[in-house]
Chains A and B, each alone.
Chain A
Amino acid sequence: MSLNGWLQIALFIAAVLLLAKPMGTYMMRVFDRRGTWLDPLLLPCERLLYRVCGIHPEEEMAWTAYVVSMLVFSAASLLLTYLVQRLQHVLPLNPQHLAAVPADLAFNTAVSFTTNTNWQSYVPETTMSYLTQMLALVPHNFWSAAVGLALAIAFIRGIARREMSTLGNFWVDLTRGTLWVLLPISAVFALVLVSQGVVQNLKPYDTVKLVEAQKVTGADGKTTTVTTQTIAQGPVASQEAIKMLGTNGGGFFNANSAHPFENPTPLTNFLQMLSIFLIPAGLTVTLGQMVGSPRHGWAVLAAMVVLWFAGTFTSFWAESQVNPQLTHVDQHVSATQAGGNMEGKEVRFGIANSALFATVTTDASCGAVNAMHDSFTPLGGLVPLTNILLGEIVFGGVGSGMYGMLVFVIVAVFIAGLMVGRTPEYLGKKIEAYDVQMAMLYMLIFPLIILALAAVAVRLPAGLAGLANHGPHGLSEILYAYTSATGNNGSAFAGLSANTHWYNFSLGVAMFVGRFMMIVPMMAIAGNLAAKKITPASAGTFPVTTPLFTVLLTGVIVIVGALTFFPVLSLGPVLEHLLLRAGQLF
């Protein structure tokens, strides 16, 4: 691990922490409908939208109405995405004349983008037309993020409100999140990306002559000589900005943020990572401010930073290790080489920024990648997998990270709250049977989907068919696919060919259940909390603002969240790591 690498990591987290407060305060003002400096520009747009759509912004919704509105909106946008993909061959802006997307893949993709997963079973540049990208996929990047944001705000309101039956208006939260938060930042960010070399055009793909002709052996055993290369183009920058900011992660190109047109420079790489954490980190401050306990927000943020650091450290350390199989090769850091495991990593990012990117993208439910997680060392690959298995609550996805973390907070408060000699209480609200029931349902669905589907897949010929590697690495690949889908992350341990009927369908189900089935119990808690009284704080109140609380929360996340997966992880990455050291590769 180089000092230079650590300095870049330190710079990154410092920037995240510095931006948390202004971002969080801004979001609090947006959702509490207090004034912001963008109001003169955006208020007329907002009013116009409400008038056109027939929305009464003052109308408050109970949790059930909020969830139903959200589901209706998601279903409508899912259908739109499906239709655009199926009809892209007859629609304009298809310079490459790409065919209609097959039904199972279109379903998988529609679910994927609606659920903020952005898992891609396809190669975008050879599958999706410009229109599909711009009309079906980009809006989802905004919508799914805005939905997550709205839900998190509704949950925070549930904690903050007392003896109320409503959580706000879904349509208002959705609109304000999009207009005030996602759109302005994305617009500025896209321009910055263009300045760094990210492309933004509607041109047909370029064909260039190769400097050196390549001999390629095809599947049929014939060898052909390739002299040209097709270079895909497209409106990339506009999609790239919201891809990161909205923790979506679906790349315009198959290579995602490793592609030089998506992520050309170390600066864009830094900004992309920063934009992943920008909103999730800010939301902890929003939480603190809206519930009237800023220090609680910081305590939650601190738990996130601790877990983030543990992941970053492990990943950076593991990737910096020399490969024990490559004897007599100098693998150490020097002025001329990055050192460590550079397989599947971009030279312009190196070890530190690849390890950090992998940690950040899986801490949050982003799923964009700038290096191939499949090529990480076993322990390096364990980090992204574990991050998602924890429920993506380390910063987490836009909104979803916040509410996922808050469910953990409720469980932590319930388990340890009794130890202060009171029935458990979170910020003055009693945590009772119903809350625990819903929290456990939330915590149960996640491992249920991952473990059950992965267990079926490893016993099913269709599940094993697409597997490029066997042994523990193959297990990791299958586990990673279901984990990424259920956690709505979207990153992949490549090596698994997921564009099959079985995977398109089962991963689609995993994404759908992992998003919506978990939202329902979460919102039920929010609705129930909103109706409760608030007991004023005293010396006898369970402390949720102290470093001790941060330690407790971290401990519960690790023990309750990760131990469920310890057995299967020990057969996957852990076993692979031990076998690698013993000289066996997969």
Chain B
Amino acid sequence: MSTQKRSLFDPAIVRRASVDALRKLHPRLMMKNPVMFVVEIGSVLTAVLLVLNTATHTGHFRFDLQITLWLWFTVLFANFAEAMAEGRGKAQADALRLAKSETTAYRVGKDDEVEELPSSHLRVGDVVRVTAGQMVPGDGEVINGVASVDESAITGESAPVIREAGGDRSAVTGGTRVLSDVILVRITSNPGETFLDRMIALVEGAERQKTPNEIALNILLAGLTIIFLLAVVTLQPFAQYSGAPQTAFVLISLLVCLIPTTIGGLLSAIGIAGMDRLVQHNVLATSGRAVEAAGDVNTLLLDKTGTITIGNRQATEFLPAPGVTALQLADAAQLSSLPDETPEGRSIVVLAKEQYNLRGRELAQLNAEFVPFSATTRMSGIEVDGRSIRKGAVDAIARYLEEHGSSMHNDVRSAVETVARSGGTPLVVAENGRALGVIHLKDVVKGGMKERFEQLRAMGIRTVMITGDNPLTAAAIAREAGVDDFLAEAKPKDKMDLIKREQAEGKLVAMTGDGTNDAPALAQADVGVAMNSGTQAAKEAGNMVDLDSNPTKLIEIVAIGKQLLMTRGALTTFSIANDVAKYFAIIPAMFAGVFPVLNALNIMHLHNSESAVLSAIIFNALIIIGLIPLALRGVSYRPLSAAALLQRNLLVYGVGGMIVPFIGIKLIDMLITAIHLA
């Protein structure tokens, strides 16, 4: 999927949306939106009346026609807004479909015979072989082999990723391409139900269901619509009593101006655009409900590794034992780490080079023997030139020293403790049965995390760091990263218990995970974001998948959820606040003909009755178009406390919503008077 920013009014999308706006006039579709359905009924009524009036030569044709047209425009503009939001998704879906082209699958039978068949004939449980250069024919799990895979069709990320059997990086997605090696894949979804299919359906909005909050908001809007319908329908008897009966055109105009058409017309566009923003961030949500829940999250569970720290520990310091120089320690440490290809091992080599200018030596020239890390010894090391160097955790080295009839110096032990207490991991280096000193391996907190946690705190969100480290180390990193709390020595069950505990307190919890053992917790969490690189079980348990497999994105997901809810609230407030000005435009226009004193209410000094009603209805229609960009982009979002957000938004959309229509209606009145439309 392409992730480049599409301009808001892409001509192709606008063209398609304009057609869709007409198609959406079908009453069956309009009925889903009670507010706009009322407007459509009003438009039909005025259109019929217009024809009847014309036939009988009654009414004010020019005025009635304009009202009728603007009522239809109001409906069309709302449909257009929805179509625009959908159109952006459809464009993305088209790009995805390209990746969904039919491919040939090589099914491996029971007796290892290979059978060629079209990918659409694959069923769950089939095992296929995919070799370098071939397309993965369907979603599945690698059961044998390791391969580099180009997933750019789905993630937009061009760097290949490694997929291997077993472990947490076993899932492959149909439509991606294997770049090297051969893998056996067990298919996990039937054609039409694959990840790609679900993605296409999601971004197209085909399966879009109203979210709980959207349903509640729709009820509010429907309720307000009925109340205003009542106010307008009963106004006619009161007007007749007063000797000032009104035409249907004016009454319907008043009704349409009063009912919350602005939010009614933009509500579904806001929802679709919210999902779309998530997709732009390469996150797929299985339901809109999950996006809303993201806005509500109270507690974020963040895995330390990869989310808070950069994932690998790095050597930052050499702490020599008494009688040993730092140079000796660095030399031994570097030697023992030369064959060690882990990031930690490489960071030791680099540190020795940087601090003591020890050049990395070629293993082959050294004629050395490498002692690999094993689960029993829990040490690694090297045998070179009669030197026997080992490095490992403190208890492993202590045991090693004991075997050689020596023991660890107390100063080394205290250095170990200092490192541990500061949140680091101590590695002890020993040579020929003597401890040389300690290497300080440090977890490096990602840049900017502390600030982000502060922002989250300001928004009232608590962050909990999950780590397998011991409490001492965990506390130190938690302090450095600025998280609110931590869960040390965490096992999957602990994580689950923590989620349940938080939820029992009424809190909503969000987490990320990738392993199969994360699946229950992902399912339990209110927002569970599975990494795309993770196992199938994890992806099915969560309610979102991050295609970039970047756990830090949880914070952005929360922001997107909040922005979606704020946009809804802001436009609802704006829409309702608009009514004040519309009253002052239409009420005097309705009755000033019979009671000229009521012109005192015409505080905008609108030109005449017809221009006043027209200006109000035109403003009402145009504001929908004017607010489409805001609905699609979302209101500007800043991580602030609820009190500060409320104050800001109430000022902008509440007070602004009262003032803007006064100005807008006046300007439209001046314009249509100038061009003699009224």
Q: Which residues of A contact B (CB under 8 A)?
A: 162, 411, 414-424, 428, 431-433, 435-437, 439-441, 443-444, 447-448, 451-452, 454-456, 458-459, 471-472, 475, 533-536, 538-543, 546, 548, 551-552, 555, 559-560, 563-568, 570-571, 574-575, 578-579, 581-582
A578: chain B residues within 8 A (beta carbon):
595, 597-598, 600
Check B223 against A443 for contact (C-beta < 8 Å).
yes
Question: How far does the alpha carbon of A579 sit from the alpha carbon of B595 in the complex, in Å?
Answer: 8
B232: chain A residues within 8 A (beta carbon):
567
Say whether B158 faces chain A, with CB atoms less than 8 Å apart.
Answer: no
B292: chain A residues within 8 A (beta carbon):
423
Asked if A575 meets B641 with Cβ closer than 8 Å, knowing A415-B220, A421-B566, the reply is: no
Check B237 against A456 for contact (C-beta < 8 Å).
yes
Question: How far does the alpha carbon of A534 sit from the alpha carbon of B217 in the complex, in Å?
Answer: 21
Nearest residue (CB) in B for A446 is B227
Nearest residue (CB) in A for B220 is A436
Extra pairs beyond A421-B565, A421-B566 (19, CB < 8 Å): A415-B573, A416-B650, A420-B646, A421-B295, A421-B563, A424-B216, A431-B216, A447-B230, A471-B242, A534-B506, A540-B642, A548-B647, A552-B654, A559-B580, A567-B232, A567-B587, A568-B235, A570-B587, A574-B601
A-contact 0/1 string along B237-275, CB 8 Å cutoff: 111111010000000001000100000000000000000
A431: chain B residues within 8 A (beta carbon):
216
B627 to A: closest C-beta gap in Å: 15
Check A440 against B219 for contact (C-beta < 8 Å).
yes
Nearest residue (CB) in B for A478 is B241
Contact of A458 among B238, B597, B637 (CB under 8 A): B238
Check B562 against A567 for contact (C-beta < 8 Å).
no
Question: How far does the alpha carbon of A433 sit from the alpha carbon of B458 in the complex, in Å?
Answer: 29
Question: How far does the alpha carbon of A218 sit from the alpha carbon of B295 in the complex, in Å?
Answer: 74
Say whether B298 faces chain A, with CB atoms less than 8 Å apart.
Answer: yes
Check A414 against B654 for contact (C-beta < 8 Å).
no
A411: chain B residues within 8 A (beta carbon):
220
Can you report 14 A-B residue pairs in the complex whose CB atoms are below 8 A from each other? A414-B217, A416-B569, A418-B566, A420-B646, A421-B637, A421-B645, A423-B292, A539-B641, A540-B460, A542-B642, A570-B591, A571-B238, A575-B591, A579-B597
A211 to B: closest C-beta gap in Å: 45
A555: chain B residues within 8 A (beta carbon):
654
Say whether B226 faces chain A, with CB atoms less than 8 Å apart.
Answer: yes
Check A565 against B231 for contact (C-beta < 8 Å).
yes
Question: How far does the alpha carbon of A217 sit from the alpha carbon of B524 in the complex, in Å?
Answer: 85
Check A444 against B223 for contact (C-beta < 8 Å).
yes
Question: How far does the alpha carbon of A414 sit from the alpha carbon of B227 in the complex, in Å?
Answer: 17
Question: How far does the alpha carbon of A162 sit from the alpha carbon of B506 in the complex, in Å?
Answer: 10
B222: chain A residues within 8 A (beta carbon):
440
Asked if A475 meets B238 with Cβ closer than 8 Å, knowing A418-B213, A443-B223, the reply is: yes
Say whether B579 faces chain A, with CB atoms less than 8 Å apart.
Answer: yes
A160 to B: closest C-beta gap in Å: 14
Check A419 against B234 for contact (C-beta < 8 Å).
no
Contact of B591 among A415, A540, A565, A571 (CB under 8 A): A571
Question: How far does the alpha carbon of A416 sit from the alpha carbon of B569 in the complex, in Å?
Answer: 6
B233: chain A residues within 8 A (beta carbon):
455
Nearest residue (CB) in B for A423 is B213
Asked if A567 meets B459 with Cβ closer than 8 Å, knowing A444-B223, A536-B506, A539-B642, the reply is: no
B642 to A: closest C-beta gap in Å: 4
Check B600 against A420 for contact (C-beta < 8 Å).
no
Question: How far does the alpha carbon of A454 sit from the alpha carbon of B230 in the complex, in Å?
Answer: 12
Say whether B653 faces chain A, with CB atoms less than 8 Å apart.
Answer: yes
Question: How far does the alpha carbon of A164 sit from the alpha carbon of B583 in the complex, in Å?
Answer: 44
Question: How far does the alpha carbon of A162 sit from the alpha carbon of B505 in the complex, in Å?
Answer: 11
Question: How far does the alpha carbon of A459 sit from the alpha carbon of B242 in the complex, in Å?
Answer: 11
A552: chain B residues within 8 A (beta carbon):
646, 650, 654
Check A459 against B507 for contact (C-beta < 8 Å).
no
Contact of B572 among A415, A422, A437 (CB under 8 A): A415
B237 to A: closest C-beta gap in Å: 4
Question: How far does the alpha carbon of A144 sit from the alpha carbon of B170 in the complex, in Å?
Answer: 70
Asked if A414 meets B645 with Cβ closer than 8 Å, knowing A448-B230, A452-B230, A571-B238, the reply is: no
Asked if A443 meets B597 with Cβ closer than 8 Å, knowing A422-B296, A536-B506, the reply is: no
Nearest residue (CB) in A for B584 is A566
B645: chain A residues within 8 A (beta carbon):
419-421
| Residues of chain B from 544 to 563 with CB closer than 8 A to chain A in the complex | 561-563
Interface of B is mostly: helix
Q: Which residues of B contact A (CB under 8 A)?
A: 212-213, 215-217, 219-220, 222-224, 226-228, 230-242, 244, 254, 258, 292, 295-296, 298, 457-462, 505-508, 561-563, 565-566, 568-570, 572-573, 576-577, 579-580, 583, 587, 591, 595, 597-598, 600-601, 637, 641-643, 645-647, 649-650, 653-654
Check A542 against B460 for contact (C-beta < 8 Å).
no
B601: chain A residues within 8 A (beta carbon):
570, 574
Nearest residue (CB) in A for B241 is A458
Check B570 against A419 for contact (C-beta < 8 Å).
yes
A570: chain B residues within 8 A (beta carbon):
587, 591, 598, 601
Question: How far does the alpha carbon of A53 sit from the alpha carbon of B383 in the complex, in Å?
Answer: 96
Nearest residue (CB) in B for A432 is B216
Check B235 against A538 for contact (C-beta < 8 Å).
no
Asked if A458 meets B237 with Cβ closer than 8 Å, knowing A415-B220, A540-B298, the reply is: yes
B219 to A: closest C-beta gap in Å: 5
Asked if A563 meets B583 with Cβ closer than 8 Å, knowing A418-B566, A541-B460, the reply is: yes
Check B458 against A539 for contact (C-beta < 8 Å).
yes
A423 to B: closest C-beta gap in Å: 5
B570: chain A residues within 8 A (beta carbon):
418-419
Nearest residue (CB) in B for A566 is B583
Check A432 against B212 for contact (C-beta < 8 Å).
yes
B576: chain A residues within 8 A (beta carbon):
415, 559-560
B566: chain A residues within 8 A (beta carbon):
418-421
Check A452 against B587 for contact (C-beta < 8 Å).
no
Contact of A582 among B223, B507, B580, B597 (CB under 8 A): B597
Check B235 against A542 for contact (C-beta < 8 Å).
no
A456: chain B residues within 8 A (beta carbon):
237
Question: How far does the alpha carbon of A552 sit from the alpha carbon of B216 in the complex, in Å?
Answer: 20
Question: How far does the alpha carbon of A441 sit from the alpha carbon of B646 in the complex, in Å?
Answer: 27
Question: How far does the alpha carbon of A552 sit from the alpha carbon of B459 in the complex, in Å?
Answer: 21
B568: chain A residues within 8 A (beta carbon):
418
Asked if A575 meets B595 with Cβ closer than 8 Å, knowing A415-B220, A421-B563, A560-B576, the reply is: yes
Top 6 closest pairs, chain A to chain B, by CB = A540-B460, A418-B569, A440-B223, A421-B562, A538-B460, A539-B460
A428: chain B residues within 8 A (beta carbon):
506
B660 to A: closest C-beta gap in Å: 15
Check B562 against A447 for contact (C-beta < 8 Å).
no
A543: chain B residues within 8 A (beta carbon):
642-643, 646
Asked if A416 meets B573 with Cβ closer than 8 Å, knowing A423-B213, A459-B240, A540-B461, the reply is: yes
Question: How far does the alpha carbon of A415 sit from the alpha carbon of B240 in the complex, in Å?
Answer: 35
Check B234 against A451 for contact (C-beta < 8 Å).
yes
B220: chain A residues within 8 A (beta carbon):
411, 414-415, 436, 440
Asked if A433 meets B212 with Cβ closer than 8 Å, knowing A423-B295, A452-B230, the reply is: yes
Check B506 against A559 for contact (C-beta < 8 Å).
no
Contact of B215 among A414, A433, A447, A541 (CB under 8 A): A433
B203 to A: closest C-beta gap in Å: 24
Nearest residue (CB) in B for A479 is B238
Question: How far does the alpha carbon of A131 sit from the alpha carbon of B642 in the complex, in Å?
Answer: 59
Most chain A CB within 10 A, of B238, B298, B597, B653, is at B238
A365 to B: closest C-beta gap in Å: 21
Check A419 against B219 for contact (C-beta < 8 Å).
no
A436 to B: closest C-beta gap in Å: 5
A421: chain B residues within 8 A (beta carbon):
295, 459, 561-563, 565-566, 637, 642, 645
Nearest residue (CB) in B for A448 is B230
A464 to B: closest C-beta gap in Å: 8
B216: chain A residues within 8 A (beta carbon):
414, 424, 431-433, 435-436
B560 to A: closest C-beta gap in Å: 10
